């Protein structure tokens, strides 16, 4: 009978303090083999410290870090970083300037006779075989980060940690490299955790995104789920764009807005508590820019308050008759002027409701 292998990484009720100040507490996370997970959150929420606890650079104050079922960090136990078999990629690449690309990549491979072959294999994987004899300063930032990735993967780590790996690169390259790195990790079956505060990077790279806020994981889910099924106002606000709009519950599966009524495919519940929404209650509903359509034929009008050109689309901020502002993503050939009144209608297929904020 085969037994299921333990998850590669498990955080159980993990807590950490700098001095007496708690950084985070009660963190739970389980990563099966081959999963790419992102810790995403605003600056200062504790992402890097979680990574440092997993790597062994920080001691944990409560709970456990388990790798392949073995406890490597707890209040009582601390396996040093070099004994954890973890690969790391940092923001600043941290390559050795006096070593060739080939030597950099082979550096951590224990069997020195096999180091060059293994390094060449990884350089092929990251598309830099032709740069093997060059030095780091002769490469671009994106190429250097690919070398750093190859170096981290060369000793076949049990787990790879990446700390803001693309933040020194320009925005366009970031998303492209995030996609490439994901493909490389998936092809190698590597389990990885990476930290970022850039959600496009998280969307491009992760299977699972753990959204952190004030030292807690608010929600762990795929990008689609986080965007369409946020479990808190924080996640709803932090992931993607949108506004909270007043509405009234008119039946267990229907809400009424200024822009019309929306039927929910399932009985309405508050997204954060799971409690049912009761007819007659006032609620606030998350309205995404793709929930509002521009439609010249619609009798509902809204005035253009702001417009942000996004290439294929324009993101309009529109004001309704009541003064409520909503966002609408509109194909960019519909180029309207500020203060112009344009026709709009709602196209919402599910309702994310919260209790009104007092």
Ligand X SMILES: Nc1ncnc2c1ncn2[C@@H]1O[C@H](COP(=O)(O)OP(=O)(O)OP(=O)(O)O)[C@@H](O)[C@H]1O
| C-alpha separations of 106 from 89, 92, 96, 120, 165 in Å | 15, 19, 12, 8, 20
3-state helix, strand and coil shares in percent for the chain, rounded to the nearest 5 = 25, 35, 40
Question: Judging by DSSP bridges, how do beta strands 36-40 and 208-213 pair with one another?
Answer: parallel
Q: Which is nearer to ligand X, 18 or 96 (CB)?
A: 18
Q: Which stretch binds ligand X (CB under 6 A): 47-55, 151-159, 218-226, 328-336?
A: 47-55
Place of tokens 């799971």: 274
Distance spanning both ends of the chain, measured CA to CA:
57
Decide if residue 18 touches ligand X (CB under 6 A). Answer: yes
Q: Which stretch binds ligand X (CB under 6 A): 36-44, 92-100, 118-126, 127-135?
A: 36-44
Q: Which stretch binds ligand X (CB under 6 A): 41-49, 134-142, 151-159, 332-340?
A: 41-49
Q: Which stretch binds ligand X (CB under 6 A): 46-54, 182-190, 270-278, 300-308?
A: 46-54
Q: Which is nearer to ligand X, 226 or 326 (CB)?
A: 226
Decide if residue 165 touches ligand X (CB under 6 A). Answer: no
Q: What is the dihedral of CA 187, 188, 192, 196, to 10 degrees?
A: -50
Q: Which is nearer to ligand X, 100 or 232 (CB)?
A: 232
Q: How many residues bind ligand X (CB under 6 A)?
A: 11
**What span, in angstroms and rounded, lies between the C-alpha atoms of 80 and 32?**
23
Choose, by CB under 6 A, the member of 48, 74, 143, 218 that binds ligand X. 48
Q: Which is nearer to ligand X, 174 or 307 (CB)?
A: 174
Q: Which is nearer to ligand X, 44 or 331 (CB)?
A: 44
Question: Judging by DSSP bridges, how do beta strands 341-346 and 70-74 pair with one another?
Answer: unpaired
- 148 CB-near residues (< 8 Å, 6+ apart): 89, 90, 93, 94, 95, 165
Decide if residue 197 touches ligand X (CB under 6 A). Answer: yes
DSSP state of 112: H
Give the shortest CB-161-to-ligand X separation in angstroms: 12
Give the shortest CB-199-to-ligand X separation in angstroms: 13
Give the shortest CB-140-to-ligand X separation in angstroms: 24
Q: Which is nearer to ligand X, 50 or 304 (CB)?
A: 50
Q: Which stretch binds ligand X (CB under 6 A): 42-50, 290-298, 323-331, 349-357?
A: 42-50
Q: Which is nearer to ligand X, 41 or 230 (CB)?
A: 41
Q: Which is nearer to ligand X, 7 or 41 (CB)?
A: 41
**What span, in angstroms and rounded, lies between the C-alpha atoms of 282 and 95?**
57
Decide if residue 57 touches ligand X (CB under 6 A). Answer: no
Q: Which is nearer to ligand X, 160 or 352 (CB)?
A: 160
- 103 CB-near residues (< 8 Å, 6+ apart): 96, 119
Choose, by CB under 6 A, the member of 7, 41, 106, 230 that binds ligand X. 41
Give the shortest CB-229-to-ligand X separation in angstroms: 24
Cβ contact 310:241 at 8 Å: no
Choose, by CB under 6 A, the member of 9, 29, 37, 47 that binds ligand X. 47
In 3-state terms, what secondary structure has residue 281? coil
Decide if residue 49 touches ligand X (CB under 6 A). Answer: yes
Decide if residue 4 touches ligand X (CB under 6 A). Answer: no
Give the shortest CB-145-to-ligand X separation in angstroms: 17
Neighbouring CB atoms inside 10 A of 217's CB total 21
Give the shortest CB-65-to-ligand X separation in angstroms: 15
**What span, in angstroms and rounded, lies between the C-alpha atoms of 256 and 263?**
9
| C-alpha separations of 202 from 77, 87, 116, 161, 315 in Å | 32, 19, 33, 14, 22
Site residues (CB under 6 A) for ligand X?
18, 23, 41, 43-49, 197
């Amino acid at each position: 009978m085969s037994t299921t292998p333990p998850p590669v990484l498990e955080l159980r009720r993990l807590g950490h303090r700098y001095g007496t100040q708690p950084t985070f507490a009660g963190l739970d996370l389980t990563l099966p083999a081959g999963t790419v997970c992102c810790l995403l959150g605003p600056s200062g929420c504790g992402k890097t410290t979680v990574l440092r606890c997993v790597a062994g650079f920080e001691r944990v104050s409560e709970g456990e870090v388990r790798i392949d079922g073995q406890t490597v960090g707890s209040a009582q136990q601390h396996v040093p970083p070099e004994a954890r078999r973890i690969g790391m990629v940092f923001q600043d690449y941290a390559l050795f300037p006096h070593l060739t690309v080939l030597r950099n990549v082979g550096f951590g491979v224990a069997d020195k006779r096999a180091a060059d072959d293994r390094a060449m294999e990884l350089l092929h994987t990251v598309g830099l075989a032709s740069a093997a004899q060059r030095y780091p300063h002769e490469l671009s930032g994106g190429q250097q980060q690919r070398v750093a990735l190859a170096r981290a993967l060369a000793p076949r780590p049990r787990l790879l940690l990446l700390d803001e790996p693309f933040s020194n690169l320009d925005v366009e390259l970031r998303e492209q490299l995030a996609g490439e790195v994901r493909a490389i990790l998936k092809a190698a079956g590597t389990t990885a955790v990476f930290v970022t505060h850039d959600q496009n990077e998280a969307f491009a790279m992760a299977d699972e995104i753990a959204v952190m806020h004030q030292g807690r994981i608010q929600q762990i889910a795929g990008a689609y789920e986080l965007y369409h099924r946020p479990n808190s106002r924080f996640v709803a606000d932090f992931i993607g764009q949108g506004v909270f709009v007043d509405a009234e519950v008119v039946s267990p599966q229907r809400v009424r807005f200024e822009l019309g009524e929306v039927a929910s495919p399932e009985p309405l519940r508050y997204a954060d508590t799971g409690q049912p929404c009761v007819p007659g209650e006032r609620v606030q509903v998350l309205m995404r820019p793709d929930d509002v359509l521009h439609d010249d034929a619609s009798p509902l009008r809204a005035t253009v308050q702001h417009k942000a050109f996004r290439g294929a689309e324009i993101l309009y901020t529109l004001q309704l008759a009541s003064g409520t502002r909503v966002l609408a993503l509109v194909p960019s050939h519909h180029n309207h002027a500020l203060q112009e009144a344009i026709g709009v209608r709602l196209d919402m297929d599910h309702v994310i409701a919260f209790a009104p904020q007092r």
